Amino acid sequence: MGVFGIFDPATNDFGLERREARVGETLAVYGVPEGAYVELPFLGPSTEREAIGRVGDFFTNAFSYVLEGPSALAATGVGAVDLLNDRAEFGDAIDEVFFMKARIAMRKQEAYIYRTSVSNEAAETWKSNLAISTMSLNSNKISRRGFVAMLTAGAAVMALPKGAFAITTARAKALIDQAAAEINAIISSGKSQAAMNRDFERVLAKYGDVPTMARSALGPTARSASAAQMRSFTQAFQGYLAAKYGKRFGEFQGGQIDVRDARPLKSFYEVRATARLRGQSPFAVSFMVSDRSGKDLFFDMVIEGISLLKSERTEIGGMLDKRGGNLDAVIRDLQAVS
């Protein structure tokens, strides 16, 4: 309330605080959802609710009813300049807020899709990887337009027929056929256990998705670990796995692993094999294969019904507890074992 724009008795005499509000804010108060993220020409990022509110702002502007002809156009121009001024003044903050909201929405959607199609361990690992990728986006200060372009490109890729790039049963089996052939060669090589462990580590690095295994084994701690810590842990974990399972495969001397078949399990494949040892009954060995990393790799191995991911997550969790959550100390312990 004022008098010809000269006096302000509402503030001075009645103590009413001046507050500018728009129709979009009013809609929010009455529970209208914000809707999707949108890009408005010249005005930049907004939401569906705010975009509708801006239309309402135009029609609730008293000047549009009082002024006529060129004066009305001038008033509209002033309003447009005011919005552009707000955009220029708070543009960086606005971009960051909407950038974060769009990214979070994307993460939630993709996490839901992935979580409903893979095992709990792989889903947890994938979410951790995605969190690291998000941190990388922040550190690189990718532009809003670059982010939108990335989303568009991602949508285009997702729209492609799955057969154009997705892993197949034949590819999954072929991967493990090659890995098993190399493992069998190592088993029958007659080398020392230390030499066999080095060879097993090479096979693990070549055919296994070690970063995924490492993140899964580390669990929630992976989210707070630095990039350098994750690199060190992954390398140490790889050597630890090679030593641990190399010793187990070393017991196969005189035997071999025969790959039987492969079958789809939701969004990955199980390749089933049989381990045949001298003087012992054959037992099952399975490899879980996926191309989530961008390559066909196995991310879990199940020996006689025991999952590598599950057992190592328990093992690493125990080591973390013993070290009071000190990841660097656990890394040193793994390096000593390998």
pLDDT, tens digit, 9 for 90 and up, residues 115-129? 444 445 555 555 555
Q: Say if residues 143 and 44 touch (Cβ distance below 8 Å).
A: no
Alpha-carbon gap, residue 56 to 3, rounded angstroms: 25
Distances (CA, A) of 306 to 6, 130, 284: 81, 27, 10
Residue 163 tokens read as 């057969």
Q: Which residues contact 17 (CB under 8 A, 6 or more apart)?
A: 11
Which CATH architecture describes the domain 164-337?
Roll (3.10)
199: left (phi over 0), alpha (psi -120 to 50) or beta: alpha
pLDDT in tens, 297-336: 999 999 888 898 899 999 999 999 999 999 999 999 999 9
* Ranges of CATH 3.10.450.710 domains, the chain: 164-337
pLDDT of residue 89: 57
- Residue 268: pLDDT band (50, 70, 90) is very high
Reported confidence tier of residue 261, pLDDT bands at 50, 70, 90: very high
pTM, full prediction: 0.51
Q: What is the pLDDT of residue 275?
A: 87
Distance (Å, rounded) from C-alpha 90 to C-alpha 100? Answer: 16
Question: What pLDDT, on the 0 to 100 scale, is given for residue 118?
Answer: 47
Task: Answer whether 68's CB lies under 8 Å from 76's CB.
Answer: no
Tell me what the mean pLDDT of segment 221-235 comes to. 95
The CA-atom distances, in angstroms, between 35 and each of 49, 50, 250 are 6, 9, 59
Residue ranges in the chain assigned as alpha helix (H): 9-12, 23-29, 48-59, 63-66, 70-115, 120-140, 144-159, 169-187, 193-207, 210-218, 221-224, 227-250, 308-322, 327-337
